[in-house]
Every structure is written in C-alpha cells, then in structure tokens.
Amino acid sequence: MARKRVAVIGGGVSGLMAALWASRYGYDATVFEADLASPTATRLSAGIIDPTVDVSLAPFALEALSILSSLGLGVESRLLWVHRRGSCRRLEKLLSAAGLVEHSVAGEDTVGLGRYRVDLSPGEEMHILRTMLVDTGTLYSLVSSSPGVDIVEDRVEYVGCGSLRLRRGGYREFDAIIVAAGPWTGFIRGLETVASMLRIYRCEALIIRAGGGPLAVVDDVLDFYMSIHTSGDGILGDGCCAEIESPNEGYRYDGEVLEAVLGRSMRRLEGLGDAELVAPVSAPCAVGRDSFPVLGGLPSCSRIHLLVGLDGVGVTLAPSLARLVLESIATGSRDYIPTGMAAWRRISRGRGEVREPVGEC
C-alpha cells in the first residue's frame, strides 16, 4: 500500500517540525520553501526554548524541551527571566513544579552569573531557569535526512483542497496539506481567508558576538530578549512591536528600535557593553489576532491544516504543536487541537500593538 503524501508549505521551524512528525507517522512529506537562503524569522531565531510564555502555552514549551532533548538537538543553558514581583505566580509555580527553577532573587540586588551581572530594581524579581538553546541549522539537517522527507525550493502560488500549484513544479496532489508559512500564509492564493486570523509584525534584532554562553535572557520589564550560544555568537531582540500591513514591510528594520533595545539591555546586564555588534536584522512574524497560535483543519477543507501564528517563538512551540496537527491528520479528529488555538474559533479583528495574551501570567 502506497504511503500517504503530505505537503508542508514553509521551511521554517514550524514546517520542519511538521515534516519530522509526518515522517514519524509514516507519511511521505515534501516541504516547499520559496527561498531556502532567505532571511526568514527562523534563520534569525534566538533559538531559546522559552518556558516563560503565557501560562496556557507553557506546557507545550515544557514538552518541547523533552522532544528536542530526545532528538539530541540543543545545548543545555540557563535562562534569566526578569519580571515584576508577584505578577506571574501561576507560571512560577508551574515552572517550579517542573523542576526548571534553579534560583530566584527578588528586590533591589545585583546578581553575578559568569561574565555578566544583573541589576534588579525594587519591585522586580529574577528566576534562573534550566532550558535549552537550539541551532536551527542542526534541525534542518536532521529533518532533511529523515525517511520520506524531501525539501524542495519552489514557491507555492495556489492552494486548493488537496492540491498545490507551484511556480516551477506545476500542479501536485496530496492527501493532506500543512500550511506553516507564517506571515505569508494569508498572501498565498486560496488562503486569503486566513489573513483575517493573523496579525503580522516586524521582528527586529541585533546579531552580536558577546561570549559567556550558553545563556539566555527574557526581560518582561525592560522588554528585550537575548541568547548567546556556546560559540559566543548571539541575538539581542526587542520584546514587542507594532502591526504591519504586509510581510515585505518586516524587512525594513528601524534603527531607533534597535538602539533603544541595546540601551535597555545594557542597563540590565553589566558586561554586555563589551559585546561586538555584528549586524541589525529584521523579518516578518505572525501571531493569531487574539495572540494565540492558529492550528488545525480549515472549516472549508478538511485536507488543509494550519500551523501558524506562533508569535516568533516557533522553536518553543512548534515541536509540540506540530505533533498535535499530525495527530489530528492521522486520526481524522479535531479533538487533538486545543479549542483556544483552533482555526475554527472566532477571532477578533482588532488592530494595534502585538502583546502577550494576558496581563497576569
């Protein structure tokens, strides 16, 4: 009996994880990526498995740690998480119960960790968490060598119910189509209705060479994140941003934003001033309009499945969310897709700044 065929649109972290799970479920998976060398959000990823996401998403981040560790992907790292004191009790308890919290500090203090010193102000607290940093290039190598997986450089120009039209490859039929095209999803013909489900925004960061890794920082007070890999190379990025109209606008980085995030991060981390600034980078990202991912089958076609809106944290969420999508495909059941992330939920079309789903974590 012939193996069923799955098409995956998008060669970022989400698409790669979908292809990996498809292979493990016994499908032949073809990943279509328009430009394998393009500066997508995945290639600019900080690589942090960040369990400090919204408390309702944190269990998926914890599962990602387990999945990526079992695959031999990633390097163990510490994550410095700074937030306002008392603002995240539910998430603190969850992470503590999972054994990820190594140490906690509250109030005005200075904490040393390797070559860096973290300055806390009154009303702030910091937790040192165990996590992992992932090299997305290693993930690409693993997926591309998996049984039944083929990664093809070709642009998807139209998506039908079980069929694709490719710029070079013509029409192709598939048993299932997984759309993991991030901010480009609603701009593909046949998927225009998905545009109303997503906010598109600009991810901006600085590539730095800092040393002292592996180390990650997520600062919910000064609104920045940072990762430094074992090599000493890292990413320093802004925590939030304004909505944009089209993915192409995501590549127009704002020097003032990056200058501001550099100033904020140096205020927090003594020792970061010695870092070498390599280059500014930006790329479009997407999140559901209610600030949650958008998963599962389209109401209009049971053969098209979404894996989009992961809010620039695909490395954190895609390993587990891609599994849910493949389980839904394999069983033909929607029951594996959480209602709050389902593609068939009602999503408000409000606009404005992209923020976390809730104020209390």
Cβ atoms of 223 and 239 closer than 8 Å: yes
The residue written with tokens 């999508």 in the block is: 325
Domain segments of the chain: what residues? 5-354
Order of strands across the sheet that contains 156-159: 156-159, 163-166, 170-173
- Give the pLDDT confidence score for residue 3 in this predicted structure: 80
What one-letter code names the amino acid at 339? T
The stretches in the chain having pLDDT less than 70 are 1-2, 37-45, 240, 348-361
In terms of DSSP bridges, do strands 28-33 and 5-9 run parallel, antiparallel, or are they unpaired?
parallel
Degrees to nearest 5, angle at CA 66 with 62 and 71:
145
What one-letter code names the amino acid at 269? L
**Residue 176 structure tokens:** 């299932």
Q: What pLDDT digit, counting tens, does each position of 255-268 carry?
A: 777 788 889 999 99
Nearest CA to 41 out of 325, 308, 342, 322 is that of: 308
CB-based contacts of 222: which residues, under 8 Å, 6+ apart? 82, 264, 265, 267, 268
In 3-state terms the chain splits into helix, strand, coil percentages (rounded to 5) of 30, 35, 35
How far apart are alpha carbons 233 and 210 in whole angstroms? Answer: 6
- Give the pLDDT confidence score for residue 350 in this predicted structure: 53
How far apart are alpha carbons 60 and 263 in whole angstroms? Answer: 32
- Give the pLDDT confidence score for residue 238 in this predicted structure: 84
Domain 5-354 superfamily per CATH: FAD/NAD(P)-binding domain (3.50.50.60)
- Give the pLDDT confidence score for residue 359 in this predicted structure: 45
- Give the pLDDT confidence score for residue 279 in this predicted structure: 86
CA end-to-end span of the chain, whole Å?
49
Nearest CA to 246 out of 194, 187, 179 is that of: 187
Per DSSP, the three-state class of 281 is: strand
* Four-CA torsion 252, 314, 46, 32, nearest 10 degrees: -60
- Give the pLDDT confidence score for residue 241 in this predicted structure: 74
Q: Which residue spans within 14-100 are E strands per DSSP?
A: 28-33, 75-84
Q: How many helices (H) and strands (E) does the chain have?
A: 6, 22
Angle at which helix 13-24 crosses helix 314-331, to 10 degrees, equals 40
- Give the pLDDT confidence score for residue 41 in this predicted structure: 55
The residue written with tokens 């070709």 in the block is: 154
In DSSP terms, which residues pair with 198 in a beta bridge? Answer: 288
Q: What pLDDT digit, counting tens, does each position of 305-349 carry?
A: 999 999 888 899 999 999 999 999 999 999 999 999 999 998 765
What one-letter code names the amino acid at 12? G
The pTM of this model reads 0.93
